[in-house]
């Protein structure tokens, strides 16, 4: 009887890091565990992210989970009624209203798990992810391995000449590098 009347407490969890660090893999792992526990789960991703699939969240090692692509964070509120857990991938591609959406969901008792890049290709805070990190109860920063020296990588170095902030890509477009190698690469670009 006590468990039935207890108020469910929501929370925000953020999984962040560079490209190829395992953010989406960790998101999928947590969501699959919630499903295994018979929790009602909904997963969302930005409609613009069609690199591997239009309707699935896919990690770089091809682990998948069904998702709903949305144009804007507000749409998540429409689709996320009567759920226990909401997963959101590629949060950096949403506008800052994703922060309020996550707060509303958590405030209504939903566990919200968000994955996204914390820094852009220039090493600057990226989109709403830093603000999400500030309001989250839990933050997990995951790391790739630097392709130049083998240290832990926390930067996504862009291999192409484009200066567009948002540019979807994979191994042909980005590589993970550590702080030292990133600073050396950025210095050689500006010289």
CB 147 within 8 Å of CB 172: no
Overall pTM surpassing 0.95 (yes/no): no
Task: Read off the pLDDT band of 67 (50, 70, 90).
Answer: confident
CA dist 100 and 152 (Å) reads: 32
Q: pLDDT, tens digit, for every residue of 126-158?
A: 999 999 999 999 999 999 999 999 999 999 999
Phi, psi dihedrals of residue 126, rounded to the nearest 5°: -110, 115
> Strand, helix or coil at 116?
strand
**CATH tag, 8-143:** 3.40.50.300
pLDDT of 66 reads 76
Q: How far is CA 155 from the centre of its chain?
A: 15
CB 162 within 8 Å of CB 142: no
Residue listed under structure tokens 């613009």: 48
Phi, psi dihedrals of residue 66, rounded to the nearest 5°: -65, 140
Give catalytic residues, as residue numbers.
90
Instruction: Give the residue among 163, 91, 177 at the shortest CA–CA distance from 127.
Output: 91
CA dist 8 and 29 (Å) reads: 22
Instruction: Give the residue among 99, 85, 181 at the shortest CA–CA distance from 136.
Output: 99
pLDDT of 160 reads 80
Task: Read off the pLDDT band of 36 (50, 70, 90).
Answer: very high
Residue 61 has pLDDT above 70, yes or no: no
User: What number of helices (H) and strands (E) belong to the chain?
Assistant: 6, 12
CA dist 69 and 87 (Å) reads: 12
According to DSSP, residue 119 is labeled B
Q: Which residue has the higher pLDDT, 93 or 61?
A: 93
The residues spanned by each domain of the chain are: 8-143
- Provide the H-helix boundaries in the chain: 2-5, 23-36, 73-79, 97-107, 129-135, 179-190
């Amino acid at each position: 009887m006590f468990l039935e009347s207890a108020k469910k407490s929501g929370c925000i969890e953020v999984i962040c890091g560079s490209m190829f660090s395992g953010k989406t893999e960790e998101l999928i792992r947590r969501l699959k565990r919630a499903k295994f526990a018979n929790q009602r789960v909904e997963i969302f991703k930005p409609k613009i992210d069609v690199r591997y699939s239009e309707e699935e969240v896919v990690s770089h090692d091809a682990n998948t989970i069904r998702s709903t692509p949305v144009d804007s964070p507000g749409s998540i509120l429409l689709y996320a009624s009567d759920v226990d857990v909401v997963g959101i991938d590629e949060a950096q591609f949403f506008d800052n209203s994703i922060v309020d959406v996550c707060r509303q969901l958590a405030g209504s008792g939903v566990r919200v798990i968000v994955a996204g890049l914390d820094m852009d290709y220039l090493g600057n805070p990226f989109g709403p992810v830093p603000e999400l990190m500030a309001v989250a109860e839990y933050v997990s920063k995951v790391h790739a391995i630097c392709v130049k020296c083998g240290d832990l990588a926390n930067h996504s170095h862009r291999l192409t000449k484009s200066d567009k902030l948002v540019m979807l890509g994979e191994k042909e477009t980005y590589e993970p590098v550590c702080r030292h190698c990133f600073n050396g690469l950025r210095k050689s670009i500006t010289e």
